[in-house]
Amino acid sequence: MKYALVFVFAFVVLACADDPLETFKKQLIDRIDALEKLIAADVKHYENTKAAGSGEFQDLKSAPETLEQYRADITKYTRKDDLLVYVDHMNYMEKWETETVQRLEKIIHPPTLTN
């Protein structure tokens, strides 16, 4: 009986343990979700400004399509090694979003030359 309880307990623990690959996929998808929300807020903020006609704004506006493609690709992979490239992609996209917002701010509020 004691061994049966140990077996049942071990089975429950193993069943409750998350698959590391699925956990990693979820982390990447959570990053995509967060960046999509941030980009949506940026687009809303800049759509009625003089920056709205800029190439940077158009790139920002089309970025969610790229993120959706990442999301679709991530769900297809079955090895963590295949997903590591998306960590790099997300690092780039997060940095790119910050830099794009800075460029949009410079369009709206150009730096002034002071002597």
Calculate the alpha carbon distances from 69 to 30, 33, 76, 103, 105 in Å. Answer: 14, 13, 11, 25, 28
The first and second tokens of residue 112, run together, are 């002034």
In the chain, domain spans: 19-108
Least reliable range by pLDDT among 7-11, 51-55, 87-91: 7-11
Other CB atoms within a 10 A radius of the CB of residue 1 amount to 5
So what's the pLDDT on residue 111?
A: 85
Tens of pLDDT along 3-29?
A: 555 555 555 555 555 799 999 999 999
- Asked if pLDDT for residue 89 goes beyond 60, the answer is yes
- Asked if pLDDT for residue 2 goes beyond 70, the answer is no
- Asked if pLDDT for residue 81 goes beyond 60, the answer is yes
